[in-house]
Every structure is written in structure tokens, then in C-alpha cells.
Amino acid sequence: MTSLQKSRARRWLCTLAAVAALVIMLFPVYSIIVGSFESTETLFSGTFYWLPHAATLDNYRTVLQGASGSTQETVTGAQSGNVLTSLIVGLGTALLALLVAVPAAYALSKYRLRVTVVVVSSLLVAQIVPSIVLATSLFIVFHWMHLLNSYLGLVIADGTYAIPFAILVLRAFFFSLPNELMYAARVDGASELQTFRLIVIPLARSAVITVAVFAFLAGWGDFIFALTMLNGTGIEPITLGIYSYLGNFSTDWGAVMASGVFAMVPAGVMLVVAQRYIAAGLTAGSVKG
């Protein structure tokens, strides 16, 4: 074998290894999609079929129309309303994150304030705080403030995932904007607010989209705050809907699978539409020395 052939063979060997890794990393996603098209009989037959076996749309029909579950004591609710709830929570979290984080990141990067070190340290530490700690206290605080079972309460709680991250990512981006831009705007007579609104925000568009995508996914995928702050009588996001299908003794697998697929849709859409922003956010989230 010539060395050229050898190196080509080695490259294809790498491809093979990467394919094997991807099969393992993507199989769980594949299995839920296949499972979502299986009939209840197949799902409870005790055999897993590697390819769809007698595919049906029944599970999606159940999940969308809210037919009464045969195995559950309670009537399994329609997930279509829950999808809407999750959308509102996701968008609300993105909106809150932007409203709080964009100006804060600007202040922490382009103004010389005495509190900057304290605030940035607090943000780094805030990312460490476990959500269950916040959920326990916020439950009682929200109970007292009548914010349980409300969109506002849930969005404020979900902001804890997104806001510290958003401020740090945007701040890193604002450092890359030359200060001369701000000087020039000021010389032209723009006020501080005008400079921010007309010069800084338009330039920060890509970083803002990155942050909004992540905040949306955090609100959409939140489970712990929904579980602790909603009591099932009012709004219910899709994550909580999936959980309610998991019974103690029997699980309505068809409904779990189909709603699970619905819950994965935004991630799939983002991966295709906003791939660039996701890649930027994933690496920006980490600390860089």
C-alpha cells in the first residue's frame, strides 16, 4: 500500500469511528421517534422493533385530542394546549433575558462602574446555584406574592437558567466593539440611551439571537420550576405533561413518546435554522481564561 492509500484508509477509518459514535449518541432520539409511531399493543408486546412495526398515528391523535387514557386513573389531557403554554414560557423567558441582560452586559463592559467586579463574580457564582435550592424558596415566596400557577412566576424562575449566562455571553461580545463607536456617537450629539439603542443593539444582533435561542430552549425545556410552581389546575407546559403520563405502575408509553417528540421539535428547528448561533453559544458559555 502506498502512503497515500494508507492515509486515505486511515481517514475512512476515522469516519467509521465517528459514525459509530453518532449512532450511539443519536440512537435514543431515534428510539423515541420510532416508539411514537408504534401501537399500544406493540409497545407493550415486550419486544423492541428496530424499525417501525405496523406504524400508526394513534399516539399523536391521543396526545393532540386528549382522549381519555386507558391505563390512567385521571383523564390524560391534550398536549396541544401544553405546547402553546411551553411556547409562551419559552418566548417569555427569552424576552425577560434580553430585557435584563442586554443593558446589563453593556454597562458591565463599556462603563467603568465600581460594582462591576462584584456583579460579574455574582453572575459566575449564580450559575452554580442548584435550581432545587431556588425552587424550594421561590415556591413559598411566590405563594405569598400570588405568583404560583402564573406565567409571570414561571418566567421569572426560568430566567435563573438564562440570565447569568446571557449577561456573560453578551458582555464578552460587547468587549469586541471598539470604544470609538461610542465616542463618535457622543460627538455627534447622541445621548447615552440613543447610543445604546441605535448603535450598540443593531451591532449586537448575532449575540442577541444566540442568547435568545438559549433562553427560549431553557424556558421550553424547564421541568423543575414547572413541577414545583404549577399545581396542575392551571397552565401546564409540555414537560410537565410528559411527566404526568409516567404512572407509578404503568406508563402510557404511546403518549409519552408522541409528546416527547413534540418537546424535541424546537431543538431540531434551532439546530437547522440557528446552527451558527448555537455553536457560538455553546462555546461562549464556557469560561475562557
Partner 1 sequence: MNATTGGAGARRLSGWRRHEFAGWLFLTPAIAYLLFAFALPIVYNVMLSFEQTSPATIAHFTAPYAGLANYRFILHDPTSRAAIVHTFEFTAGSLIGQFVIGFALALLFSLRFPGKTLARSLIIVPWLLPLIVTGVIFRFMFQAEGGAVNQLLMDVGLAHHPIQWLNDPHLAMWTVLVANIWLGVPFFTLLLYSALQDVPVEVKEAALIDGAGPWQRLRLVIVPIILPVIEVTLLLGFVFTVKVFDLVIGVTGGGPANATQLITTWSYNLSFQVFSFGEGAALNNVLLVLALICSPLYLLLSRGQLRRSSGAEA
Footprint of partner 1 on 32-91 (CB under 8 A): 32, 35, 43-48, 50
* Least spacing, CB of residue 69 vs partner 1, in Å: 16
Instruction: Name which of 65 and 175 has its Cβ closer to partner 1.
Output: 175
Q: How near is the Cβ of 276 to partner 1 at its closest, in Å?
A: 10
Q: How far is the CB of 223 from partner 1 (least distance, A)?
A: 4
Angle of helix 3-36 versus helix 253-273 axis, rounded to 10: 130
User: Rule CB under 8 A: is residue 211 a binding residue for partner 1?
Assistant: no
For the bound state, the minimum distance from the C-beta of residue 67 to partner 1, rounded and expressed in Å, comes to: 20
* Stretch in the footprint of partner 1 (CB under 8 A) among 60-68, 75-83, 204-212, 223-231: 223-231
- Burial status of residue 72 (CB atoms within 10 A of its CB: 0-12, 13-18, 19 or more): middle
Residue 43 has φ and ψ, to the nearest 5°, of -65, -30
Interactions with partner 1, residue window 176-195 (CB under 8 A): 179, 182-183, 192-193, 195
* CB neighbour class for 101 (10 Å; exposed up to 12, middle 13-18, buried from 19): buried
Complex with partner 1: residue 70 or 285, whichever CB lies closer: 285
**Shortest distance, position 68 Cβ to partner 1, whole Å:** 21
Total residues contacting partner 1 by CB under 8 A comes to 115
Q: At its nearest, how many Å lie between partner 1 and the CB of residue 61?
A: 20
By rule CB under 8 A, what string of x and - marks binding of each residue 93-132 to partner 1? Answer: ------xxx-xx-xxxxxxxx-xxx-xxxxxxxxxxxxxx
Q: Do the Cβ atoms of 102 and 170 come closer than 8 Å?
A: yes
Q: Please say whether the beta carbons of 239 and 223 come within 8 A.
A: yes
Site for partner 1, residues 7 to 36, rule: CB under 8 A? 11-15, 17-19, 21-22, 24-29, 31-32, 35
The single residue among 59, 76, 93, 160 that binds partner 1, judged by CB under 8 A, is 160
Question: Helix, strand, or coil here: 246?
Answer: strand
Pick from 49, 46, 53, 62: nearest CA to 252: 62
d(CA 24, CA 114): 50
Please identify which residue in 83, 89, 167, 258 interacts with partner 1, judged by CB under 8 A: 167
CB of 287 to partner 1, least distance (A): 4
Pairwise CA distance, residues 138 & 132, whole Å: 10
Residue 196 DSSP label? I
Q: Which of residues 253-272 bind partner 1 (CB under 8 A)?
A: 253, 256-257, 260, 263-264, 267, 270-271
- Single residue of 141, 152, 198, 273 touching partner 1 by CB under 8 A: 141
CA dihedral 56, 59, 61, 63 (to 10 degrees): -170
User: 270: Cβ–Cβ under 8 A, 6 or more apart, which residues?
Assistant: 213, 216, 217, 278
